[in-house]
A and B are shown apart, each in its own frame.
Chain A
Amino acid sequence: MTARVLVDRLSLDVPAFLQRERASSGWGGLFFGAAFDPPKRKLLRLLDNISFELGEGDRLAILGRNGAGKSTLLRVLNRVYQPSEGKLVVDGSCQALLNISLGFNGEATVRENIYLRGIAMGLTAAFLRGQIDQILEFSGLQEKVNHRLRTLSSGQKMRLGFAISTSVQHDIIMMDEWVGAGDADFMRKAKERMQSRVGGSKIVVLASHSTGLLRDICNRGIVLERGRLVFSGDITSSLKYYHELLAKLRSDGEASLDMPTSRGAQIFGAVEAISVERDACVLRGWFIDTEGAVPSGLALQLNGQRHAASTIERVRRPDVKRHFGLSNDDCGFLATIPLPPGFMTLASLGAAEACILAGETIDFTNVPLRIAAPVAALLHAAP
């Protein structure tokens, strides 16, 4: 059977209950208002007239700000919410990785919970019996198998949920942000497994804020804004549209009010060249954050101590702009960082575990940038 997702003029109305606005005169009024005011019913349109079609090989990125309807759309595609209008056809077995650490019975043992979750996913008990060892091994919980689930840490629960949810290859995978967290060892395993699951599935739908990730995985994109489909196209043009949309909202001054993520945006980038000139270190590279803005803080960390950049010069990088579909190409940097005495060569920087950190402002740098392979080789060359 060929996998297919067809969304045709789909809308979703949701009844919402609003508390009446009430001018409370002090504490008493506030308490009584909260207790006795009946909420008012109102229909909200969360998704409005959305159409697209996915065939085999399509990897769709759902872009949009917080509250634009990304998760809601995923839930509709997963057939949890029924569309109020329009048509939805999903052919093929489908697995959503939306809330993988939920859906357990806390008092039952780990083994019982594997059966419970597996059967809830639609697997047979006979098949699960053969899978239990593999799931336990993957989540690293072999010695916990007869413990009650309640006694597991939240990280262990997450690992177990991940191992169960990804134990079978499905035709269609839907994800709300890339799953996989935990200690370094598990992260590596989870990443491999996800890549093979994503590679093996016929259709992938991924909602994320991480531009780099979407660029790597997806080949198509749609942009949602207030429940409407405002753009649909290939991934590069979708990312470009999304970043332009964000830039426009930022310039309208709406961003600061409406975008709680603007402070939580993730920064990423790379250092492509490094050199030591007299008592300063000169770095070249690029960095952006997940909303397409260019951060302004850069620091070099040596032996755990940060040294802020004295000058940061912006460099035009049309290649980076094209790759990520950014709205401006101002994301390259040429930075000079004064070095403390004693560091004269690149190898001495490497020996001091040099690490380049970026951040929103010069005072707040905490995200390590990727160091390109030639630069790493220079840093770690034998003295």
Chain B
Amino acid sequence: MSEAAVEASIRAGARGGGAPGAFWREVMESFRHPEFWALSSWLDIIVRARKSRFGILWLLAPSVVYVFGLGTFFRGMQSDANPGDFFVHVALGAMIFRTLMSSVIGSANVFHGSVSFIMDGHMRLTDYLLQSLAKSFFDMCMYLPVVAITLIFFGDISLPGLLVSLPVMVLVYINALWIAAIFALVGARFPDFGQLLNTVSIFLFLLTPIIWYPGMMPAGSIRAQLMRLNPFYHFVEIFRAPIMGQPVEVTSIWYVGVMTVAGLAVATLVYRRYARYVPLWI
């Protein structure tokens, strides 16, 4: 074996070279060398489970509580609801909300949490973004059993809708990527940002039609407008409505489309401008 080949078998080139800033190039490199972020996020997850007696069962608990606990409680308030449908509505809504929110909150703290790796010269910052997205993906997987149960037992689901939901999921993750990039940078600069997001998340959860139907808001009222301003509403809608066989509002599709393009553009610019300051901020 030549010297270069030996070298290649030892080093995965996982550290990235040059100054951080080229967002897309670094994202590509991170995908090509997934070892670091995959392992560190996986360790974070299993460690969370390992601390407790019931392990992975605890990670399933939030979904059960949200869907069947909150769902049962609030079902009584929905006068016109089909009881089975309401569970599906809550399960799908909570899953998307949880996925997005955990990538937002996770990424706001991700640079502070990885300070020793960054200070040791592991400078491809997109690795840390993907690390927080991988964790949120795992959170989503923890919702899948409950979602599957509700779909099978209560659902009146449309199969084409289920097929559509897969590309929508990819779209949601593309959005999660730019959200993570921007929020991670803001979180690195302002350490209290993560706490703020935690507080706001409860409000956003209630503002998003997860445990209530969007139809309950009188059209044109201030509250309905507030609901439509909430980006989570649109993400939840374009994912949930097709599965439940309902039409998707055109505004939601526009809203998500514009947000994807604009968000990625802003993330690219912000990352180029500010990524180099991250080691100084933390």
Contact = CB atoms under 8 A, between A and B. Distances in A.
Nearest to B6: A127
B19 interface: yes
B167 to A, nearest CB: 32
A99 B14 contact: no
Given A116-B40, A119-B36, A103 B13 contact: no
Nearest to B14: A122
Nearest to B21: A82
A102 B43 contact: no
Interface in B1-30: 9-15, 17-20
Interface residues of B, number: 33
A78 B121 contact: yes
A96 B116 contact: no
Contacts of B39: 115-116, 119
Nearest to A124: B12
Contacts, number: 86
B20 to A, nearest CB: 8
A124 B119 contact: no
A122 B11 contact: yes
A125 B19 CA distance: 25
Interface residues of A, number: 31
A93 B43 contact: no
A103 B47 contact: no
A217 interface: no
Nearest to A106: B47
B145 to A, nearest CB: 25
A119 B35 contact: yes
Interface string A108-151: 10001001100111111111000000000000000000000000
Given A80-B279, A122-B11, A107 B50 contact: yes
Contacts of A189: none
A114 to B, nearest CB: 11
Given A15-B280, A107-B50, A120 B12 contact: no
Nearest to A80: B279
Contacts of B47: 105, 107-108
Contacts of B17: 79
Contacts of B121: 78-80, 94, 96
B80 interface: no
Given A81-B280, A122-B13, A123-B11, A107 B120 contact: no
A98 interface: yes
A82 B117 contact: no
Nearest to A113: B43
A115 B43 CA distance: 10
B116 A124 contact: no
B10 A168 contact: yes
A107 to B, nearest CB: 4
A147 to B, nearest CB: 12
Contacts of A78: 120-121
A14 interface: yes
A354 B280 CA distance: 51
A154 to B, nearest CB: 15
A45 interface: no
B11 A124 contact: yes
A111 to B, nearest CB: 11
Given A105-B47, A120-B122, A14 B117 contact: no
A105 B119 CA distance: 16
A380 interface: no
A82 B276 CA distance: 6
A11 to B, nearest CB: 14
Nearest to A107: B47
24 contacts: A14-B280, A79-B18, A80-B118, A80-B123, A81-B279, A81-B280, A93-B11, A96-B120, A96-B121, A105-B43, A105-B47, A107-B50, A116-B39, A116-B40, A119-B12, A119-B14, A119-B39, A121-B15, A123-B10, A124-B12, A124-B35, A126-B9, A127-B9, A127-B10
Interface of B: 9-15, 17-20, 35-36, 39-40, 43-44, 46-47, 50-51, 116-123, 276-277, 279-280
